[in-house]
Structure 1
Amino acid sequence: MLGNGVVGILSESSNMWERRAPLTPSHCSRLLHGGRGKTGVARIIVQPSTKRIHHDTLYEDVGCEISDDLSECGLIVGIKQPKLEMILPNRAYAFFSHTHKVQKENMSLLDKVLAEKVSLYDYELIIGDHGKRLLAFGKFAGRAGLIDLLSGLGKRYLNLGYSTPFLSLGASYMYSSLAAAKAAVISVGEEIATLGLPSGICPLVFVFTGSGNVSQGAQEIFKLLPHTFVDASKLPELFAMKSRDLAQHTPAPKRAFQVYGCLVTCEDMVEPKDPTRRFDKTDYYAHPEHYNPIFHERIAPYASVIVNCMYWEKRFPRLLSTKQLQELMRNGCPLVGISDITCDIGGSIEFVNQSTSIESPFFR
């Protein structure tokens, strides 16, 4: 069956919100009409779906076949992991399997792939000659994650007794386009700039980890708000000013008209165990066991929100452990929310012990 020139497109079944498609109608048109000698594709069979962002008729218009039966396909592609009964023997499949980190919830899928002698092309593991991933989270993950965080932040602060402009922002899926979502965030920013934020929740500091697509996307949305980025080393000064005003009984401003951002790097997260050595990124990546975590001491005590966008493996120190969080809360840390866009269960943020859904995006 492999390489028979027939490609199948799965109907996504991982959750009700998954509307994406691995191939758009325009992609299919190029594959079908570019000449089999060039593309190797003679037919494309698309499983019908009434929720897919591209309607079935759009695929039919470019020459695809619509059928639930993909048994003639040598290669079957999707976005997320399919149901076990969708795995046919001796085929090639391509999708995000979420198995290479030994995710418990997907081990039955991996067992099925092995039992059926399937060739699995996991998007997460496809790399180019330079060693970098060719398929990865894009900026949209960061954009959506930050919009949903801001929406949740409004509700969280209201629960704590503070009304903020964030309360008017909807979840990312409620907007018909990126432009519409950005316009809503800009409106929130204009309200902050004119009416301000309650002084009791300020300085409002967003800490971003990572520098890749996800972090860039999240920062893109954050920058639509009136903001100032501060270096990690300057965070204590923001809070020292507030403490000084309180100690001197100086009337503090009743409102704040901007938020603060801080982009942290691994140098802000760890330090060498040997006090005579300086941080070296190459050495850290090669020997993370020679480093101690410091994020919970140097950064987290000043964070109102942590937006976690960094890649992490078990060999590295955690960004934040459960014990560290408990100590921070006892000491009055202003942290009210974490947006773990990486969604590594029990990963760099230990107490993130479950994934969330679009309809229920937060847990405590």
Structure 2
Amino acid sequence: MKGSMLGNGVVGILAETSNKWERRAPLTPSHCARLLNRCCRDNTGVTRIIVQPSTKRIYHDKLYKDVGCEISDDLSECGLILGIKKPRLEMILPDRAYAFFSHNHKAQKENMPLLDKILAERVTLFDYELVDGDNGKRLIAFGKFAGRVALIDLLRGLGQRYLNLGYSTPFLSLGASYMYPSLAAAKAAVIYVGEEIAKHGLPSGICPLVFVFTGSGKGSLGAQEIFKLLPHTFVDPSKLPRLFEKAKDRTQPGQASDRVFEVYGCVVNCQDMVEHKDSPKVFDKADYYAHPECYKPVFHERIAPYVSVLDMMPIPIHTTMTWRKMA
């Protein structure tokens, strides 16, 4: 059977099993309809699509069946099998092509059994994380939705964290991102939290509340989009010490305020995280990427002591971090 299944025109869609939260699908019903209709017109390409049944997938099985897909646990007739996250080892069939996020090209220890299985079964793997264009830039990466989801979940966790430390905050009213039926509904919930902060303030004991965003990619911009729904002020990384000095001044006798009515944002990039060992006043991003060993970390000294919340989108940094206690 070796090689006989590859390119046979039958595509399979895996039921996601990596964790209980994963509801995404590699192909939507409308994608499947387009692929199958094209085959009917041209008599080429995808002839059949077999979808493993799932009761938690965002698109329920009937939507796939309505556009001509087959619903079956058995994907043995598929030459190409698509998923989002890594499947269970027993779901890897020999001599097929698979596409999913494998998370093993950096030799992540927990995913080595999956790689061993792929090699043993002579599987062709298309790893989304390694799909790039002519210029070598990744074509499939974190987008704005990843950043939006990250910050919503972060705000929810922040409310729980502060409650454990003895502080009640408006963040406690937020649900996790998966609990909202749409982005608009999630944003409305964050806007309500912002209105509560503007009206009633935050306890001074946890302020200034500083959100630090790394980089300016789509993920970071998505997180900032949600952050901006709160009453906020952005500050330059160099101004963080002064922000805390002002907060300390407000706690002096006669100047005290027990509530703070906004949060603070700060966007940091590579030059805020490292500096050249020999020429600290000059930062060259290209040189840093090419020779990271010539640079030393400064994030833990200049930024981390002032961070309440760190929203870290992927960014190449060579640094160690210390944390300001949230109390």
Letter in 2 for 1:25: P
Question: What residue number does 1:223 align with?
Answer: 228
Q: Which residue is 2:143 aligned to?
A: 138
Aligned partner of 1:242 among 223, 247, 260: 247
Aligned length: 322
Question: 1:2 offset after TM fit, Å?
Answer: 1.0
Q: Matched residues in 2 for 1:198 and 1:128: separation? A: 49
The correspondence for 2:265, drawn from 261, 266, 288, is 261
2:178 is the alignment partner of 1:168: no
- 1:353 equivalent in structure 2: none
1:39 CA displacement:
6.1
* Cα offset, 1:318, TM superposition: 2.6
Q: Deviations over 1:84-106 (max 9, x none)?
A: 11111111000000111111111
Matches within 5 A, 1:85-164: 85-164=90-169
Say whether 1:182 aligns with 2:183. Answer: no
**1:245 CA drift (Å):** 4.2
CA RMSD, 1 decimal: 1.6
Distance in 2 between residues matched to 1:276 and 1:88, nearest whole Å = 54
The answer as to 2:219 corresponding to 1:214 is: yes
> Aligned partner of 1:79: which letter?
I
Report the equivalent of 1:349: none
What does residue 298 of structure 1 align with?
Answer: 302
Q: Which of 23, 31, 34 is the matching residue for 2:35?
A: 31
Q: CA deviation at 1:203?
A: 1.0
Quote the residue 1:318 is aligned against: 319
- Structure 2 CA distance, aligned partners of 1:292 and 1:300? 15
3-state SS in 2 of match to 1:50: coil
Superimposed CA distance per residue, residues 314-358 of structure 1 (whole angstroms, 9 cap, x where no aligned partner): xx51352xxxx2xx5xxxx3447xxxxxxxxxxxxxxxxxxxxxx
Matching residue of 1:196: 201
1:163 is displaced (CA, Å) by: 1.3
Tell me, yes or no, if structure 1 residue 68 matches structure 2 residue 66: no
Offset from partner CA, 1:101-144 (integer Å, 9 cap, x none)? 11111100000000011000000000011221111122222111
Q: Normalising by structure 1, what TM-score?
A: 0.85
Aligned AA (1:113): I
In 2, Cα distance between equivalents of 1:3 and 1:191: 57
Judged with a 3 Å threshold, the aligned counterparts in structure 2 of structure 1 residues 245 and 190 are, in CA distance, closer, same or farther, namely: closer
1:35, distance to aligned residue in structure 2 (A) = 3.0
Counterpart position of 1:358? none
Is the CA contact 2:237–2:303 (under 8 Å) kept in the aligned structure 1?
Answer: yes
Of 268, 285, 297, the residue aligned with 2:289 is: 285
Output one character per residue of 1:174-233: Cα deviation in whole Å (capped at 9) or x when no partner.
Answer: 211111111000000001011111112111110111221211111111010000111101
- Give per-residue Cα distances to partners, 1:232-278, cap 9 Å, x unaligned: 011111011123345x6342222111100000000000000003661
Verify the 8 A CA contact 1:226 1:257 in the aligned structure 2. Answer: yes
Seen in structure 2, the aligned counterparts of structure 1 residues 283 and 70 have a Cα distance that, compared at 3 Å, is: same
Aligned residue identity for 1:155: Q
- Preserved contact between residue 31 and residue 39 of structure 1 (Cα < 8 Å): no
Partners of 2:52 and 2:74 within 8 A in 1: yes
Pair 277,233 (structure 1): closer, same or farther in 2 beyond 3 Å: closer
State the SS of the aligned residue for 1:188: helix
**1:273 is matched with which residue?**
277
Separation of aligned partners in 2, 1:39 and 1:185: 48
C-alpha contact 1:198 1:254 (8 A) present in aligned 2: yes
- The answer for unaligned runs of 5 or more in structure 2 is none
Name the SS for the 1:237 alignment partner: helix
Asked if structure 1 preserves the Cα contact closer than 8 Å seen for 2:298 and 2:319, the reply is no
Distance in 1 (alpha carbons) for counterparts of 2:44 and 2:287: 44
Instruction: Give the TM-score, by structure 2 length.
Output: 0.94
Measured in 2, the distance between the counterparts of 1:276 and 1:194 equals 44
Aligned mates of 2:48, 2:193 — CA distance in 1: 48
* Preserved contact between residue 185 and residue 224 of structure 1 (Cα < 8 Å): yes
Comparing 142-151 with 114-123, which one deviates more in the overlay? 142-151
Q: CA deviation at 1:290?
A: 0.4
| Unmatched tracts of structure 1, length 5 or more | 337-364
Assess if the C-alpha contact under 8 Å between 2:153 and 2:176 holds in 1: yes
2:45 aligned with 1:40, yes or no? Answer: yes
Q: Secondary structure at the match of 2:98?
A: strand
